[in-house]
Amino acid sequence: MAKILVVDDEVDLELLIKQKFCKKIKSNDYEFVFPSNGVHALQQLEDNSGIDVILSDINMPVMDVYHC
């Protein structure tokens, strides 16, 4: 199973990704984690070393990729 961290403050993106990859999620090929900002993303990475891929928005509240 591929574990994918998607960091974005747009709530609609989570729904879109879940709809697009519905079959892969149900068959346990992909697992997505959706933190809403950079701070939560770093926390997820500390708590979960099994992340395979990170997709990140550039501009987000609290912490963006320029301030990591």
54 sits in which H/E element? strand 53-56
40 sits in which H/E element? helix 38-47
Query: Could you tell me how many residues make up the chain?
Result: 68
Question: What residue has token string 């770093």?
Answer: 42
Q: What is the pTM of this model?
A: 0.83
User: Rounded to 10 degrees, what is the CA torsion of 41, 4, 46, 10?
Assistant: 10
CA nearest to 39, candidates 66, 57, 55, 62? 62
Helices and strands in the chain: count of H runs, count of E runs? 3, 3
Q: What is the pLDDT along the chain (68 residues), one digit of tens a residue?
A: 999 999 998 989 999 999 999 999 999 999 999 998 888 888 999 987 799 999 988 877 776 556 55
